[in-house]
Amino acid sequence: MMAAMRASPAMLVLALLACGRGGDAGDDKPRAAASKPTSAPAAAAARPPAAPAASAPAADQGKGRPCADFAACRDACVARRAGACVRMNEQAAKRDADRAESEKTASRMCDAGHPEACHVRHVQLQSDRKRSLQALTRACDLGYGQACLSLAGRSRDQARADELRRRGLFLLDRFCQHDDPYACTALGDAARDPGDGEDPDPARARWHFEKGCNLGDGDGCYALVQQLAGSLPEREVALLDRACELGEPRACASVGDHYATGDHVTQNIQHAAEAWQSACDSGADQAYHACDSLADALSDGRLPRDADRAAALRKRGEDLAGQFEGD
């Protein structure tokens, strides 16, 4: 769901250097560049002229292990850990108090020049079109590749749209080469769903989703399952399990279904219950299905019967379904 929002905060360094300006990348220590550039199974997208040499993206401390709760994600966002501001905003959906704190934190970090926080502000400000667009533009200006691609899709000026798309793909490619999982997944999204007049490139999309997944992005794992489309069912269940561990709620809902029925995996109702609970707790789109599935298992004897808990889960499922139908 949120893969298109995330990339390393050090995109600021690359963007500023690419424009011939100096800049401060924050306090994160840079990590060494990969010994070889990433190669994809198709020709690279058109890019602007080569930029001056830039340092590698800052290390993602805890890559592959997302922050576990709102407070941890908020602190990681302030520390400019890749993907943390996005995760903070996802976690904030669970409580109104957290939602207000998420908006405050993202606003403060965007003002401080953190591009991912600006993209989060764009999402938070959807009801205010002007301010939302301002936040999206600032995210792109600061070097957030996904924001540039989003702006390209909105532009009515074809020349401007092409320029923004080239810039976005250039930034994402540079960061994927330096093993930023979220940039790799975003490149997969761009290959799968290109702009008007361009053909999808499934092989390139799959390659980037696989790299994003291997580097620890749950959205990349989930997108890879969609690309496989039932061709390797056992592997797909394993990928869904990994995506769930990495915090992808749609994957958790699917994992619960597979383990509850023993579909291409050894049946394990306890593991199914844990996965359904994670999806239900997330408050994400389609999570209501997981709430209902867990309630059913608590009512029909597959799990120890608990009428009160089942009723609470059904109520949460109804609330979530109404929330997303209302959107």
Same domain, 168 and 93: yes
Whether residues 210 and 243 share a domain: the answer is no
Claim to verify: residue 180 and residue 272 sit in the same structural domain? no
Are residues 80 and 195 located together in one domain of the fold?
yes
Query: Is residue 29 pLDDT above 90, yes or no?
Result: no
SS3 321: helix
d(CA 287, CA 255): 12
| Same domain assignment for residues 150 and 248 | no
Q: Does residue 58 lie within any of the structural domains?
A: no
Do residues 96 and 133 both lie within one domain?
A: yes
- Nearest Cα residue to 76 out of 230, 247, 244: 247
Domain CATH number, residue 242: 1.25.40.10
pLDDT value of position 299: 96
- Confidence class of residue 65 from pLDDT cuts 50, 70 and 90? low
Residues 197 and 72 placed together within one structural domain of the fold = yes
pLDDT value at residue 322:
78
pLDDT digits (tens, 9 = 90+) for 266-285: 999 999 999 999 999 887 77
Confidence band of 35 (pLDDT split at 50, 70, 90): very low
Residue 286 has pLDDT above 80, yes or no: no
pTM higher than 0.75 for the full model?
A: no
* Domain count across the chain: 2
Residue 180 lies in domain: 3-23+63-218
Cα angle value 269/272/275 (rounded, 5°): 155
Cβ of 11: how many Cβ atoms within 10 Å?
30
Average pLDDT (249-276) is 95
- 131 & 194 share domain: yes
Say yes or no: 119 and 262 in one domain.
no
> Residue 46: is its pLDDT beyond 50?
no
* Domain end residue (candidates: 218, 249, 265): 218
Could you give the CA distance from residue 273 to residue 320 in angstroms, rounded to a whole number? 18
- In this predicted structure, what is the pLDDT of residue 8? 44
Q: How confident is the model at residue 14 (pLDDT cuts 50, 70, 90)?
A: very low
Would 57 be classed as within a structural domain? no
Last residue of a domain, one of 154, 184, 218: 218
Quickly state the pLDDT bin for 218 (edges 50, 70, 90): very high
